Chain A
Amino acid sequence: MDEPLPEKGPLRVLIADDSDSDRLILQAMVKRLGHDVVAAEDGFAAVEQYRVFHPHIVLLDVMMPRMDGMEAAHEIKALAGEVLVPVIFLTSLSDAGALARCLESGGDDFLPKPYNRIIIEAKINAFNRMRLMHRTLSHQRDLIHARNWQLLQEQEVAKRVFDNVAHTGCLNASNIQHHASPTSIFNGDVLFACPRPSGGMHILIGDFTGHGLPAAIGAMPVAEIFYGMTSKGFGCGDVLREINQKLKRILPTGMFCCAAFIEADFHLNCLRVWNGGLPDGYLIRGNGEREILTSNHLPLGVLSPERFAAAVDYYRTEPGDTLLFATDGILEAENADGEMFGQDRLLEALDSAEEHGSAFDAVMAGVRAFTGAHLVQDDLTIVALEMVEEEALVGLDNRTPPSALRGPASWDCSYSISDRTLGHFNPLPLLLHICMEVPGLRRRSGEVYTLLSELYTNALEHGILGLPSDWKSSPEGFGRYYAERERRLASLRGHRIEFTLHHRTSRDGGELRIVCEDSGPGFDYKDLLGPDEAQARYAGRGLGLLRQLSVSLDFKGAGNQVEVLYQWDYSEPRSQG
């Protein structure tokens, strides 16, 4: 690099001429201009002087003994590297070919003999301007390189931070296939998956407006809310409302996130899907039939909380059904001719799912074949979720970081909600949160959540609302069940559900007693304690699960009160089935 040089001030000028008198004259003239002169009597000495003094400008005679001017110019230019050191040949040559050779050897100009003070001054000044301009440009170029490098470093750090916050959760689950570029975050794409404490999972696939850091910034709170709330047991509606509210508040108008939210329940084998601004998703049935999951909401971060609609579509599924969502990167993937992949080719690819093994593989193969030599573009994010039997999914890693605090040992609490609140508030995350203050219970959040959730669902849906659980066994009944649930919830009066929790620790672990009481009529458990009646009240796995997880389960009162005793110790928790 060039050393710092004040804009005004003497230049170091190297003069090489084997004629002593010529050298004296030029030296005197350049000195009179206020510059410092270093002199050499041949090319060889000139190169040596260059190494020592690093002159700013070099004046070289062409014909000199030992090393001529052209060779010296060549060497000096090589030594100068990227720095512009103007080399001006001193010459009384008149032959055009010889003059041209001087420039070819690396010279920048000529100074004819006899020397003229005015010409010398003008040339030195002109070349000094050029030299400074070159230096400024080099400096700016280096600065741009440095800034660019710094930006890439910052992105790298930002990406690492982001990867910690917005880790991919359980995307590695055996029933998920996905593609997302490692730097997709800077394309504004997000793809998260998180197991729910009760089993099942949430998936969020989204696409922020814009590119680069601005697009990535919005993804951070989305990830925090998505993982935080999902791990605490919140349902998709709550998570969506929270994300929308947060984005609406923090993003400038004009920035938003097109997204699809999927809540998968592998026990009931059903899906809840919310699509706001993402291209059609597909639910591909085992027999190849497709249902289209069209966007029917505005993207996240557009509407105010009051206007936001978190209504989801329900789909009853069978193991083997596959859900597929992609950002618009897939429709807009371009081939060498600039054509886009488009909807028709996507459908064609889906038609060939069977021969490719899966819908996901078929779409990826389709895009690769279409874009040809092009690599699959960066801003292409796609996820496929296969519905499976609950038992097939074990040990989902949600990577939720543990807390280092010691928790409470002995505590009791009672919490009750009533009337309309039953319809629009889900108390499970709160109750789970209270239990999770106990580190020993935190490692068993799935089991605790399942207990709470089974008790609550059954108290609400069967105890109070009186919904028959067998409806859920047929596809038509499934829809009817949830429609009826909404209807009955809306007109709820004079009802309540109360949870009472008692916790004590022992030497090796602890004991959690949960009592759940509802205001419904209950049932005659004394006379009808046969398995059938109990099954009717505790749909599907309900009763069995509660019994399996707890040491005791008792009905009390009119049958509207259930007490469950759960014990834990410091051994590894059972893997959740």
Chain B
Amino acid sequence: MAIQTRRSEDGRTLTIKIEGRFDFSTHQVFRDAYEHGDQEVIHYVIDMCETTYLDSSALGMLLLLRDYAGGDTARISIENCNNDVRRILTISNFEQLFAIQ
């Protein structure tokens, strides 16, 4: 498991790329990935192209990010999910809370 972050040129979009399993062991690293960013960030992108698995604690972490980014006004998109990851997000109806592409 590894997490990489990338800022867009204007500094307003933070892309967090999660490799491997996204589960409780990722907790601290995932938090660090967005909490130490500065205030300019208004849009978060979770890139799941290399994410193999997602468990319910990962869903919890996504909710924490959503709270951090402003709750109902948060702009978070989840991108490039494989079928398994997509299935878990769909079962939990997370498309009601996140833009899943």
Contact = CB atoms under 8 A, between A and B. Distances in A.
Contact between A and B in the complex (any CB pair below 8 Å): yes
Interface of A: 207, 209-210, 253-256, 258, 276-280, 295-299, 302, 328
Interface stretch (B9-17, B32-40, B42-50, B55-63): B55-63
Nearest to B56: A209
Interface of B: 24, 56-57, 59-61, 63-64, 67, 90-94, 96-97
Contact of A207 (B24, B56, B60): B56
Contacts of A280: 91
Contacts of B56: 207, 209-210, 258, 328
Contact of A298 (B24, B64, B92): B92
Q: Quick one: which of A255, A299, A328 has the most chain B CB within 10 A?
A: A299
A277 B96 CA distance: 12
B57 A210 contact: yes
Given A210-B24, A253-B64, 10 more contacts: A207-B56, A209-B57, A209-B59, A210-B56, A253-B60, A255-B60, A256-B60, A279-B91, A295-B91, A298-B97
B91 A302 contact: no
A302 B63 contact: yes
A209 B60 contact: yes
A295 B60 contact: no
B21 to A, nearest CB: 13
A402 B52 CA distance: 51
Contacts of B59: 209, 256
Nearest to B62: A254
Contacts of B94: 298
B93 A295 contact: yes
Nearest to A296: B93
Nearest to B59: A209
User: Could you tell me the dominant secondary structure of chain A's interface residues?
Assistant: loop
8 contacts: A254-B57, A254-B60, A254-B63, A254-B64, A256-B59, A258-B56, A298-B93, A328-B56
Contact of A299 (B64, B67, B90, B92): B92
Nearest to A278: B91
Contacts of B92: 258, 277, 295, 298-299
Contacts of B64: 253-254
Nearest to B91: A295
A369 B77 CA distance: 40
Contact of A256 (B63, B67, B90, B91): B63
Q: Select the residue from B24, B92, B96 with max chain A CB neighbours within 10 A.
A: B92
A327 to B, nearest CB: 10
Contacts of A302: 63, 97
A328 B88 CA distance: 10
A278 B61 CA distance: 18
Instruction: Tell me which of B67, B94, B96 has the highest count of chain A C-beta atoms within 10 A of its own C-beta.
Output: B96
A255 B96 CA distance: 17
Nearest to A342: B84
B17 to A, nearest CB: 21
